[in-house]
Each structure stands twice: as C-alpha cells, then as structure tokens.
Chains A and B, each alone.
Chain A
Amino acid sequence: MSMPTTAERPFTVDRSLLIRRLREVLPAQALLFEEEDLRPYDCDGLTAFRQLPLLVALPEDEVQVQAILRICHELRAPVVARGAATGLSGGATPHPDGVLVALAKLKKIIRVDPVSRTAVVQPGVRNLAVSEAAAPYGLYYAPDPSSQIACTIGGNVAENSGGVHCLKYGLTVHNVLRVRGLSIEGEIVEFGNAALDAPGYDLLALINGSEGLLALITEVTVKLTPKPELAQVVVASFADVRRAGDAVASIIAAGIIPAGLEMMDRRAILAVEPYANAGYDMDAEALLLCESDGTPEEVAEEIGRMTTVLEKSGAAGIRVSQNEAERLRFWAGRKAAFPAVGRLTPDYLCMDGTIPRKHLADMLEAIATLSGKYALRCANVFHAGDGNLHPLIMYDANQPGELERATAFGAEILELSIHFGGTITGEHGVGIEKIDLMAEQFTLAEIGAFHRLKAAFDEHGLLNPGKGVPTLARCREYTLARVGGEQNPTNPMNAPRR
C-alpha cells in the first residue's frame, strides 16, 4: 500500500513550452490560453468546484487528440477530457497544471447500421443525436440521462451514465459494444469488439465509468434498440412520500419491470410544472411515473397490473398517457427537473446515492430531517425503480457558509446511502464531488488496488488527476475526521445498521 498515488505527484509544467508545442499541432483557434477565454471553462455542471485550466485544447479529429496526448505525456502535463460539461460530479473540472481537452468538435456520426443495430459515433455526439439518427430505422439508443439533449456519448461512457429507462434497458455499459480511445502515450487502444463478448478480461466494462482516468475516448460503437410499438406512462400521485416509496417496492415485488419508474417529491413537482406544463398534480406530496412499453397487448396488460398495484399502495390519483404527445409531456417534466429547480434557488448540489428500494421512504424521511438540521431546502427526484436517489440540495453561493452546509448535507445523505446498504454513486460518477466518500465505501486495500489498476494504464498519473479515486493519504484524513463526526448525536449514521 505504499505506492504513490496520482494526485500526490507534483506537476511542474512549463506553460510556455507546452503552448509552443501544442501550437505546432493545432490550428490557432483550437488552443485557448488567455484567462478571458479560459474562465468559461472553469467548471462543468458542478459549479461548486471551479478551477482555471492551464490551457484549453479544442481538437477536431483523433489525429489532433493523439498529438496533444503525445506532447502532454512527453512534458508530463495532466490531461482532463471534457464533452458537453453537463456532468454533476465534477469529472471534467479542470486541473490547474493541465490541458482541458474539449471534445465537442468530434461530433460525427460515422455510421448507423440498421442490420447489426449499431451506430459508430465520435465522442462529442450528443446522446439524443444518436437516437435521432437511428429513428428512420425504427431504432434508438436506450440510455437516456436527463441531460440527453446536451450530454455526449464520450461523457456517457466515461461516467457510465444511466437514465430514466435504465431499469429495463441498462446503463451505458450495457449498451456499448466497443470503445476506441487513446492512451496517455497517444497509442490507440480498443476495448470490446463488435461481438457481445471478447477474449481476456472484460476491459470494456472497465472503460465504462472510468471517468477519464484510463484513456481518452475517440470513438464509440453503441447498440441500438428497436423502438417499442407502444409506450404508455402512468402518473400516480400520493398524499405522502412513504406510500409512494412503498409503492415502488411493491411494483418490483409484483414482478413488473417498468421501462421507467421515477419519483418526484412536492418541491420538485412545484419547480417543474411551471416550465413543463406536464399536468402534474400540484397538490401531491409525491408523484410516481411508471412506464410500460412493448406490443399494444403487452402494454395494456402491464398498465393494468401497474394500476392495480398503485391503487393498492394508496395512490390518490392515477393518470395514464393517452397518446405519444401526452407521454412525452409527462416525461418532459421529469427530464427537466434538475435545471427547473434553478427556478427555486440560485444554486443546487445534486446527489447521486443508490439504496435498496425498500429503504426509499426511510431515506426520504431522513433527508427531511437533515433538511431541517442544515436549514437548506431539498427537492427529491429519484430513479426510484433502481433505488438511485437525486436529492437536489438548494443553496445560495452568495450567502457565506451555505455551500459548506450544502456539502455537509450531501455527505450525510451519501453516508446514509452506504448505511442503508447502497452506494455513493448510481450514475453520475465520483469525480471530485464524492472523492472523499470513496473512503467510506471502500477499504484502504481496495483503494490501493484501484491505484494499481490506474498505474497499469497511466504510469505517471496524468489522466484526470485528483478524480474518481482518492489518494490513500486523503482516505486516512477522511477516516480520522469521521471519527469526530460519529460523536454527533443527530447523525443518523449512529443508528444501528439495518
């Protein structure tokens, strides 16, 4: 366990030399180094962490990416990849000594093959653009993060993104066949292939969710899924959150696998409705969206079963989408929930813990208690079907101390997630946001194993340093600090483990 870790390594980068070398391989407008130009690149979707990069590079093709990596490797400069910068865990937060490689210009859809039901795309292609390109063949790309209008496939692979439909159709890792990338040395590396399995270790699963720590992604082959003949969504409103939480567990227990099973609490509903005009019940304490897809017969049968379970669970009102426009409208509210909370608050932190479904209601109640403790509002939007929580902690960065309170609030939610037998991240990645909590989730030996894996790909720790996996020293500091925290009688962590 004595191996030095990435973030501990000092980087002494000669900025002017780096600029000079990069200028030789990039067009003038593809390299930004004046502070005025760098400032808008200082964060991604996680605005609580901001850091000016040393430089920003905007390559247009794989050859330019390769040239950038070779130079950075030679000069030992850190490299942070960035797609649409919609990430919520700070995976694309710049490094002060490093080059931020923005891949938005690599946005070609290389081919859509309706026979093999695959598409080959560059990393900067937007998630939704893949489905749009596949639509003429009756196909679509199943993982649908709420940011799918903007987020890119490269970022989806790096974070192993999910979405409202991943309960039935899987996360990114289940919908990607092959990833082509570049190692920090600038060598082309391929993970997976056109078939469903490959000889040797399953490195394709490794690159999915690797958060830019192992390679820069330059091309992705995704699986396309036939569009269901019909999809309908049930919107059920509940007068209290516990009933809604229990209804989720009941649906799964009834053997139903909905195409999507989502939950929103009152604050989230109130934020979303004015923007989306989705027709949500504004008096409900919680809403469930439960989708069925398949043939018309399958959908009719399943919607019937869902409705029965929801009614038995005490739903106060039930609406079933009557046409595609209405279905999309019902979903539009859910998909816009995060930014719509921006109507209620200048800033928010979006958490991403995952817990066993049976604890959803307990968690909601615990969050309500914590909300009082930290005097911060919290709207809850859950991928309830797979137990993935997205509490949105509202704060005002202009008020001294609020960000710190929000961060502590979030950390307690994630600690609770582990306590309930879950994890600190379901689909947003660890990034910079949850790095300390990795020490809560894993032992030092396990963290050490992660570092050895990283070193096998990136010996000098140049790819996205300081993200995903904490240094062992950081883990020890966190553990020491936590010992004090457990003396706090209001900390729900002190309750016996369930």
Chain B
Amino acid sequence: MQTHLADFIKDTPAGREADAILRSCVHCGFCNATCPTFQLLGDELDGPRGRIYLIKEMLEGQPVTARTQLHLDRCLTCRACESTCPSGVNYHRLYEIGRAVMEQRVPRSLAARATRLLLREALPRRWMFKPAVRLGQLLRPLLPGVLADKVPRPAGARIGGGPQPAAHPRRMVALAGCVQPTLAPNTNAATARVLDRLGIELVEVAGAACCGALRYHLDAREQALDDMRRVIDAWWPELESGRVEGFVMTASGCGGHVREYAALLKHDPAYADKAARIAAMTRDASEVLAAEQPRLLELLRAARAGVGERVAFHSPCTLQHAQKIRGVVEALLTAAGYPLSPVADAHLCCGSAGTYSLTQPVLARQLRDHKLAALHAGSPDLLATANVGCQMHLQSGSTLPVRHWIELIDERLRAAS
C-alpha cells in the first residue's frame, strides 16, 4: 500500500514501524471476513482493512476527529484478522501506534475520561476491586438489569487454598493476576494441584499482580509499563535463583501480554533484557500440561473417572490469535474424558476483550449472545474457557456453569485420589 507518512512521525521509531506495517497490507479484504465487528456492522470502517486505512490517514497528517476514534474504539484487538491475514500484517502493533496518536489528537468527553480512569485505577488494585465486587453482589437485586449483568456472580469456593509450596525439585511461578483472585480464585489453586500431581511446585510471588495489559489497552502506557516492570522486579530473583523452569499463565489475556514484554520494553535499557528472558520463559498452562503429557495421561488412566460432562470450549482470542495456541486445550480435555461439543465460528471473539465489555457494552453483548448461541448449540453440560475475562463475560449470559478448563482437569485427577 502506498504511504506518505507525515513529518511528525515518519522519522520516529513508531513511524518507521507503522510505515513498514502499512506497506505490508495489500488491501485484499480477507481480514474483514473474520472480524467480529465487521460481521456485526458491515461497515468498512468497522473492519481491520478500514481501520488500517483510518490509521494511515491519521499518520499521513489528515484531520482526525471523533469519527476515527469511534471506529478504533470499536476494535476488540482480538487479532482474528492477524490469524486470517496472508500478508502477515502486524495489525495490533499498528493499532497501538495509531491509538497513541489518536489519544493525543482527539479529546474524550469528561464522562468517558472518568470511566476509563476508574477502570484503570480500580481493576488492577485488589484492595479496591474486591470490596467493589462484593458490594455489587450484595446490591445486585436492587440494580437495573444491564448493570446487574455486569456484576460477576460470587465465585465458587476456593478449594484447598492457593498455590502451596510443596516439596518438588521442579518449580514454576504463576501470575496472581489482578481481578482473577477475586473472581476466579480456584483457577490458580487448581493449576497448583494439577502441577503438584505432575511433580511441579507452583508458587505465586508477592508483588507480581497485574501484568499491565489492562492499563495498556486503556491508553495508560506509562502506568502499564510500570506494572510490567513491577512484575519483572518481583519475578527476577526467582529467575536468577535458577530454580524456576518457567512462568505459568492461567489467564490467556495475561499470558499474551507477558509474552509481549520483550517488544514493549525493548527501548528500556534497564529492563529490555530481563523482559526478553521472562517473555521467553512464559507458558500458558495448556502448554505446560501438554509438555507433561505422558505423565498426565498415566494419572488420568489411573483416575478411571469414566466419561465426564459434555463441554463446549471457548478458545479466547488471546490464546488462539495472540499466542497462536490452537487445539491444545481441546486435546487435553478430550484426553481427560470430556466429550467436546462442536462450536461454530470458534475464531470469533466473545466480546469480553479486556474492558471492552464495559466500554462498548452494546457490541459486547451482541457478540456474547452470538458466542453463547454457538456454544449452546451442541447441548453441552458446561462451558469452559481459558481466560477470566471471557469466563465472567460468558457467565453473565448463560445458566450453564462457565469454568476454567484447568478446573476440569483438576477434578478428573481428584476423582482418583
């Protein structure tokens, strides 16, 4: 694609990167076919090809207004377009560069600024988020329907506590996460139990909480980079001790982001190397289990738990598109005796997308309802996913339980013990 980037950006690192990405796009339009918002809205401006064009215009110095902002805000950054793109366009990087320029150029309303401030200050802080959720749960009967939907239902009881250091020579570190300990405390606990059975000790390290994705996607880049540095600082002694095999991610949203640490901190001389090493040692829980498959299968055989419930699995975008992990969880669930029900359009986002369900409630709800219809179509007994955001979002519209898949593996193994 022809480009004439404007003087304000063309000779900056971001400008050069954006120019290279823009020039890799040949405007074939394949991306629109798998873009959730283009599917809903049918407007070129609400598909990746149109957004790339809007960003190009902005970077070429054309006037930019709330119109461009509207269409860029509607992007879920699900990256389904990147999975589809045969030209290898690095859409999400271009989008990040474009958003940063847009935030400087197009002011937001006071209300929008307040909402975004609240989200990025409250969600990553457990001391603020946890009481807020509890209060919302108490008040749910009094809330109007739309708002009540947004309040997560009380999490299932945490079984057997958090990751408990056990005496294993092998050791991995789990990220505590920001909202997950409040909303889905059993996820890390279940992971710790499963890894324990596999002879791996799983620990959480104090100080490593929010991975930074939340603030990053709310355009608070500096704050987000600080979140990332905090995680790195907390984990670094573990890494240096040489005792840790890897960093285990139980929320694919966080996993996708931690894997980007290397790219995001590459211009920070103090952190670039550390970020790269941590990113390289980061694994989704499914990858960890897949690597231990022989032992896991042995344990599952020993468990003799019979046929499990019928499961419809929703693969989060951060798992299948950002981390390109496809079919791994499905294979683990099948091996554990859970029949999988077929799910149409499995590549489409459920609408959760970080804070998208809060900033774009109308589209998020439509996407959720489409996703639930596809998940329910095969008459499953329960739904499973791999990211706390998707889990809560889907749960808000389904009467079936929505679980993290690791909980299901955990239950199979516990059936034996």
Enumerate chain A interface residues (CB-CB to B < 8 A).
29, 32, 34, 36-37, 39-41, 43-45, 47, 58, 84-86, 102, 104-105, 107, 124, 126, 128, 147, 149-151, 275-276, 336, 338-343, 346-348, 397-398
Contact = CB atoms under 8 A, between A and B. Distances in A.
Given A85-B29, A149-B30, A347-B1, A107 B86 contact: no
Can you list the 10 inter-chain pairs with the closest CB atoms, starting with the nearest?
A: A342-B87, A397-B2, A336-B86, A40-B53, A105-B42, A342-B26, A339-B86, A104-B42, A150-B33, A346-B23
Nearest to A46: B27
A47 B63 contact: no
A37 B46 CA distance: 11
Nearest to A337: B86
Nearest to B29: A86
Contacts of A397: 1-2
Given A339-B87, A397-B1, A39 B32 contact: no
Contacts of B31: 150
A147 B2 contact: no
A138 B87 CA distance: 32
Interface string B1-41: 11110000000000000000001111111111110001001
B88 A102 contact: no
B30 A107 contact: no
Nearest to B53: A40
Contacts of A105: 41-42
B29 A36 contact: no
Nearest to A88: B28
A47 B42 contact: no
B44 interface: yes
Interface stretch (B64-72, B152-160, B188-196): B64-72
Contacts of B115: none
A305 to B, nearest CB: 33
B85 A339 contact: yes
A175 to B, nearest CB: 20
B23 A102 contact: no
A47 B29 contact: no
B65 A36 contact: yes
Contact of B49 (A40, A149, A348): A40
B50 interface: yes
A58 B43 contact: yes
Contact of B62 (A36, A86, A276, A339): A36
B29 A343 contact: no
Interface of B: 1-4, 23-34, 38, 41-45, 49-50, 53-54, 57, 62-65, 67-68, 84-89
Nearest to A346: B23
Instruction: Give chain A's interface secondary structure class.
Output: loop
A36 B45 CA distance: 10
17 contacts: A37-B67, A39-B62, A40-B44, A40-B45, A40-B49, A44-B29, A58-B42, A84-B29, A104-B44, A150-B30, A150-B32, A275-B86, A275-B88, A339-B87, A346-B2, A398-B3, A398-B4
Contacts of B86: 275-276, 336, 338-340, 342
Contacts of B4: 398
A151 B31 CA distance: 11
Contacts of B29: 44-45, 84-86, 147, 150-151
A105 B29 CA distance: 16
A364 to B, nearest CB: 23
A36 B63 contact: yes
Contacts of A107: 42
Nearest to B19: A398
Given A40-B49, A149-B33, A336-B86, A45 B28 contact: yes
Contact of B45 (A37, A147, A150): A37
Nearest to B20: A346
A41 B85 contact: no
Contacts of B38: 104
A77 B4 CA distance: 32
Contacts of A150: 28-33
A36 B67 contact: yes
Contacts of A29: 43
A467 B325 CA distance: 45
A141 B88 CA distance: 29
Given A37-B67, A347-B1, A338 B44 contact: no
B32 A47 contact: no
A84 B53 contact: no
A154 to B, nearest CB: 13
A44 B44 CA distance: 11
Contacts of A124: 42
A59 B62 CA distance: 28
A149 B43 CA distance: 17
Contacts of B33: 84, 126, 128, 149-150
Nearest to B3: A398
Contact of B2 (A37, A47, A102, A341): A47
A346 B63 contact: no
A86 B27 CA distance: 8
